[in-house]
Amino acid sequence: MGVSKQKAAQNHDAIVSAAETLFRERGVEAVGLVELMAAAGLTRGGFYNHFASKAALVDEVVAKAMAEGLENLTAALDASTARGEDPLGNQIDWYLSPEHRADIDHGCPNAGFLGDAPRFEDPARSHYASGLTTNLRRFAEAVQAATGLDQEASWDRTLALFSQMVGAVLLSRAVVGTDPALADQLLDSARTDLHNRTRHRP
């Protein structure tokens, strides 16, 4: 007896959710289908009922993660504005926090999939690039509001600021297990510098 459409949809979502977690934690190439389907609570044989290939799954995972990342950024910026706080400063503080550093499974997908992105097949690589661009443009709005720069200058500043944020988080994640003091210094120094360059103070 086949499964219902509702159950099939639930299984599909379970595969995507398990895949995102494992891909972020281990990298796409390190995750096999047996392990992936077991993490989703399913058997390997059912994989091809949902996806034509592992590449198709990667594409869906990346598209979903990048869309959710933009939603989360927009919600965070809007919430800060509604509270009368500094949206850009709050985003910098969150991004360069130990909590975000530790949240590999649900943190910024721009950082979370950065190592794998160059090796994605074309559809997933396209979703990553377009998601990054959209994320940067939303972030640029906050930069422009905070700094008073014109649109072109705000875009240039955004590219520099966001690159520093992502780099600091990834370097901090890389050494936190062996040199936690250095890991914290990487976040702290980047956060202070970014606040200085956006006319805010932590």
Pairwise CA distance, residues 33 & 54, whole Å = 8
DSSP-H helix ranges across the chain: 5-26, 33-39, 54-82, 87-95, 98-102, 109-112, 122-147, 151-175, 180-197
pLDDT in tens, 93-151: 999 999 999 999 999 999 999 999 999 999 999 999 999 999 999 999 999 999 999 99
State the fold for domain 54-197.
Tetracycline Repressor; domain 2 (1.10.357)
**For the chain, what's the residue count?**
202
Does the pLDDT of residue 55 top 70, yes or no?
Answer: yes
Q: Cα torsion at 122, 28, 41, 4 (round to 10°)?
A: 0
What integer pLDDT is reported at residue 201 of this predicted model? 39
Q: May I ask the CATH class of domain 1-51?
A: mainly alpha
Numbered ranges of CATH 1.10.10.60 in the chain: 1-51
Best CA proximity match to 194, nearest among 171, 176, 169: 169
The band of 4, judged by pLDDT with boundaries at 50, 70 and 90, is confident
Does the pLDDT of residue 200 top 70, yes or no?
Answer: no
Best CA proximity match to 120, nearest among 181, 55, 176, 27: 55
Q: Is 142 left (phi over 0), alpha (psi -120 to 50) or beta?
A: alpha
Here the tokens at position 149 are 């720069």
Kindly report the average pLDDT of the chain as a whole number.
94
What integer pLDDT is reported at residue 202 of this predicted model? 38
First to last CA, the chain: 60
What integer pLDDT is reported at residue 76 of this predicted model? 97
Pairwise CA distance, residues 18 & 37, whole Å = 8
The band of 63, judged by pLDDT with boundaries at 50, 70 and 90, is very high
Instruction: Tell me if 165 sits within 8 A of 73, measured CB to CB.
Output: no
pLDDT in tens, 163-173: 999 999 999 99
What integer pLDDT is reported at residue 99 of this predicted model? 98
What integer pLDDT is reported at residue 199 of this predicted model? 67
Pairwise CA distance, residues 18 & 67, whole Å = 17
Q: Which amino acid is at 19?
A: A
Numbered ranges of CATH 1.10.357.10 in the chain: 54-197
pLDDT in tens, 32-49: 999 999 999 998 888 999
Percent of the chain clearing pLDDT 70 (strictly above): 97
pLDDT in tens, 67-76: 999 999 999 9
